[in-house]
Amino acid sequence: MTSPTSFSPTADAGAALTTYTTSEYAIDLPARWRQLPTPGDNAVTFQSDLDRAGIFISVDFYEIPADKAQATAQRLIDSRLAQHEKQAPGQVDVFDRGTRRHARGAGLEMHYAAHIANTDVVMTVVVVMPRRVLNLTLACTARRADALALLDAVRAHFRPGLA
């Protein structure tokens, strides 16, 4: 299914988007993003050569009480940042992070953006809902401002299921 809308600063204005839908979420991506084989059935990977970026989305199933959502999201974010630090000791520069209710009210959303070893920008968005956690990681080699614009575009087109 496609709809006429632009996606990111590098998209042609009016580019059609393809909607990828699972029982847990939907995401709209321009045709330049291609789906790559991913082992397992709870994850998917997309790559765009034009954007010099990749997206990895996974779903994990847990029972999470509402009063534990923020602590759960923080633990997951901290775990990912620790992994970056392990891979590039002393070279992880977190330049953006935040917490908010997901725009569609589906759960709590927490994110970070980090420059790793002055080369890659890695951004992770964790959406914690009562019965599952969605992890969306975007990695690219763009400048920080361009990477954040791409992340904002991806987030705007990522729709967790409400159930």
Asked whether residue 9 carries a pLDDT value surpassing 50, the answer given is no
Which range marks the domain in which residue 51 is found?
34-152
pTM (two decimals): 0.84
Rg of the chain in Å (alpha carbons) = 15
* Structural domain count of the chain: 1
52-74, pLDDT tens digit by residue?
999 999 999 988 888 888 899 99
146-157, pLDDT tens digit by residue?
888 888 888 888
Domain with residue 134: its CATH number is 3.40.1000.10
pLDDT band at 14 (very low <50, low <70, confident <90, very high): low
Asked whether residue 29 carries a pLDDT value surpassing 70, the answer given is yes
- Name residue 12's amino acid: D
The residues, any chain, with a CB within 8 Å of residue 14's CB and separated by 6 or more, are: 4, 5, 6
Beta-strand (E) ranges in 43-119?
A: 43-48, 53-61, 92-101, 108-116
| Residue 19 belongs to some domain of the structure | no
